[in-house]
Amino acid sequence: MEVLLTLPPETRLLPGHTDETSVGREWQQNPFVRVWRGLDPEGEERCSVGGRGARLVLWARDYDGGFKALVRFDDDGDQVVGGSRVERQL
């Protein structure tokens, strides 16, 4: 985030797992980038991943139609994980 997204907005990005995009498009439309920038609020829902307690910061659609999540672990840092790994405590 602190390297790639500092490039000029017109910089083309070829992620390999989806269509071409640009730094500017990711800056404005990517939900993970929007939360990182403080434009959208972080979630407060409790969850667990692999038995580790966490807070579900973001739940978003993935490029393949599934979901991915940004979680903040109670014991150590943030991680992006596949939605199927998240046990939501609804």
Residues 22, 50: one domain? no
Considering its fold, how many domains does the chain have in total? 2
The predicted-structure confidence for 41-65, as pLDDT tens digits, reads as follows: 999 999 999 999 999 999 999 888 8
Residues 88, 49: one domain? yes
Confidence class of residue 17 from pLDDT cuts 50, 70 and 90?
confident
Quick one: pLDDT at residue 90?
72
CA distances from 17 to 26, 36, 84 (A): 14, 21, 18
Domain that holds residue 76: 42-90
Quick one: pLDDT at residue 1?
77
pLDDT of 22 > 90? The answer is yes
19-28 mean pLDDT:
94
pTM: 0.84
Which of 62, 77, 76 has its CA nearest to residue 85? 62
Residues 47, 64: one domain? yes
